[in-house]
Amino acid sequence: GQNIDQPTEMTATEGAIVQINCTYQTSGFNGLFWYQQHAGEAPTFLSYNVLDGLEEKGRFSSFLSRSKGYSYLLLKELQMKDSASYLCAGLILTGGGNKLTFGTGTQLKVEL
């Protein structure tokens, strides 16, 4: 199967750090993406992990453990504009090319 699980929603305080977890139970994933989607807008690419470990990009970091089927997105110094849905997606390599399978998304609300 290709199940990808994320918490449905999270709340955090401006200036704080939040970790959004993503677990997957699948064979055939060749990498893990994180996307951000503000309400009414298209998803935008945030980060990608293909190897185990931490990838850091400014205030955003993403971690992957392939053996555990686990990833997280870490957001530091939270800002109000970070209120959005965060989607993790597994990359699948097929004979016809790459495709992404998305998780259910985590709605993050940043409060004062």
**For binding to other proteins (CB under 8 A), which residues are involved?**
30-31, 33, 41-45, 48, 50, 87, 91, 96-105
Nearest approach, Cβ of 100 to other proteins (angstroms)? Answer: 6
Cβ-based nearer residue to other proteins, 13 or 30: 30
Using the structure block, give the residue that is written with the tokens 């686990």: 70
Nearest approach, Cβ of 70 to other proteins (angstroms)? Answer: 18
**Residues in a beta bridge with 55:** 62
Q: From residue 2, how far is each of 27, 74, 94 by CA, in Å?
A: 7, 23, 14
Cβ-based nearer residue to other proteins, 74 or 91: 91
Cβ-based nearer residue to other proteins, 58 or 96: 96
How remote is the C-alpha of 78 from its chain's centroid? 16
Nearest approach, Cβ of 63 to other proteins (angstroms)? Answer: 16
